Amino acid sequence: MTVLTLRRHGVSTIVEPERSARVDDITTVRLGLSGGALVFDVTDADSLPRVEVFDIDAASWWLFSVYGYAAAERIVEFAHAADDGHEEPAAEELAGERGPRLDSLLRLALALWMRRWWPTPSAAVPELTEWLLDAEAGVLADDLEIALDRDRALAERLLAPHLERMAANLAAHDARLDASPVDARIDQVLRAAAAVALDVVDPAEPGFDGLDAIDRAVRHADDLTTRLRSGLADDDALAAAIDAIVNAGLESSEPGEEHEIYALAAGDDDEGSLVQRGSAPVDPRAVAPRILSTADDAIVWEVHATAGGLRCDVTVQTSPAAELAKIGRFFARVDQDGSSSVVALQRLGGQLHGEVWLDASIGDRSLVVTVYDGIDGFDGVAPRSADLRARERDAIARIIGARARVASAGPQDGWQGPFAAELGASAKVPLQ
């Protein structure tokens, strides 16, 4: 049993264990649920999560899944009394236990945290097979539909972009049956994800028909032992479906010049004299993951004194493993003593470039340069020091790296166990 504190905060009811996650920590994940949210630290394997409830009637469907039936009943009574009364009730303590679906909720939240923060590959961090992590998260989301306001939209959003990839890899079902435990785990996830996708995704989505054809063939083969052992490739119709999907461009080809931006913004021909040069890592909170470099000097700026004033040239390194199609619009914000300037960055090969004109009185003041992957990001993430960015970047890398070492031992149970994407990366399982 765990001691929980039950209290009121404004119009919300808060349920908090003795050891509670700090909301602003990079290792904290907040999973939005029907009528509330679940908050916990992904590095804490034992503590119960914090729960915030703003609609007790909606949340009553899943509270027992988190804290058990007895605690959930008292939380509902407390919240209803607070909603109906005119005075804020006094905080109280109650005993909670691990509810019957808590591990599933934590695992879904962990998958979404990893999807958001898994960084660019490095010596310690393997490359993420994002579609496979999304596939497993989609299955979890669908299984927890009752906690998500009986809404399957999250499962659909996770699965719909990956129908073609799932189909191409599900076609290897027969080969995986007698392969390693990791192959078997990947196949299990693919089978479950295909079933959910065919139930929740719009049939008009690209790849739906191909996935449906292969899923039907695989299910039929599983019913017939002789076909299961002889191989799916004997089925001409299935082979044709596989060829159509594989040839549909699942492997990203090198983009033509029309997809690259090779011209920089027009600037002053006067290079000027170098006044200041600096560098900083990218802020992981300000950009989407796995697109920009995670190096300490991923962002480099140079300030030049020219006849026209002070020009700041900004260069940002992209990740060599980044999918070029995902490199959308990036912006650089240059801050100096309370004033800021913003420039849209343009791509040149493996770098992003832009230039900003600064206040001529900069002197020896150092700049803070922040890169965002959308203009809206300026409102959500304030400029932060290079040290703070690096600390959070390193904290994320340590978690992913430690999980990679665990994944090397093979499939494991528990909500913190390796996902199929981690197992596949560790075992270097070939995937389409």
Hey, where are the domains in the chain?
2-100, 130-251+406-427, 258-384
Query: Crossing angle of helices 386-407/102-117, nearest 10°?
Result: 120
DSSP 164-201: HHHHHHHTTHHHHHTS-HHHHHHHHHHHHHHHHHHHHS
Q: What is the pTM of this model?
A: 0.87
Comparison of pLDDT for 412 and 375, the residue scoring more: 412
* Residue 246, pLDDT above cutoff 70: no
Q: H-helix or E-strand containing 17?
A: strand 12-17
Residues 135-149: pLDDT tens digits? 999 999 999 999 998
- Provide the 3-class DSSP secondary structure of residue 218: helix
SS (H, E, C) 106-174: HHHHHHHHHHHHCCCCCCCCCCCCHHHHHHHHHHHHHHCHHHHCCCCHHHHHHHHHHHHHHHHHHCCHH
d(Cα 352, Cα 339) in Å, to the nearest integer?
23
Angle CA(406)–CA(408)–CA(413) in degrees, nearest 5?
Answer: 55
Residues 70-82: pLDDT tens digits? 999 999 999 999 8
Average pLDDT value over all residues in the chain? 87
d(Cα 191, Cα 318) in Å, to the nearest integer?
35
Task: Fill in the amino acid letter for 382.
Answer: A
pLDDT (0 to 100) of residue 259: 35
Comparison of pLDDT for 227 and 146, the residue scoring more: 146
Contacts of 401 (CB under 8 A, 6+ apart): 124, 125
pLDDT (0 to 100) of residue 321: 78
Tokens, residue 374:
């959308």
Q: What is the DSSP letter of 214?
A: H
d(Cα 170, Cα 193) in Å, to the nearest integer?
10
Rounded mean pLDDT of 97-104? Answer: 96
CA torsion 177-180-181-182 (nearest 10°) is -100
* Residue 245, pLDDT above cutoff 60: no
Contacts of 232 (CB under 8 A, 6+ apart): 171, 173, 174, 217, 218, 221, 238, 239
Query: Crossing angle of helices 420-427/130-143, nearest 10°?
Result: 150
Enumerate the β-bridge partners of residue 316: 299, 352
* Residue 218, pLDDT above cutoff 70: yes
pLDDT (0 to 100) of residue 238: 53
For the chain, percent of residues with pLDDT exceeding 90: 67
Residue 243: pLDDT band by 50, 70, 90 thresholds?
low
* Residue 241, pLDDT above cutoff 60: no
Residues 250-286: pLDDT tens digits? 443 343 333 333 333 344 456 779 988 999 999 999 9
Tokens, residue 313:
């040239």
DSSP 367-384: PEEEEESSTTHHHHS---
d(Cα 159, Cα 166) in Å, to the nearest integer?
9
* Residue 9, pLDDT above cutoff 60: yes
* Residue 231, pLDDT above cutoff 80: no
Enumerate the β-bridge partners of residue 330: 345
Radius of gyration of the chain (CA): 25
pLDDT (0 to 100) of residue 383: 92
Cα separations in angstroms, 275 against 211, 271, 301: 58, 12, 11
pLDDT (0 to 100) of residue 251: 42
- Provide the 3-class DSSP secondary structure of residue 233: helix
* Residue 161, pLDDT above cutoff 80: yes
Give the residue among 177, 431, 128, 172 at the shortest CA–CA distance from 288.
128
The answer to whether the CB of 354 falls within 8 A of the CB of 344 is: yes
Task: Fill in the amino acid letter for 155.
Answer: A
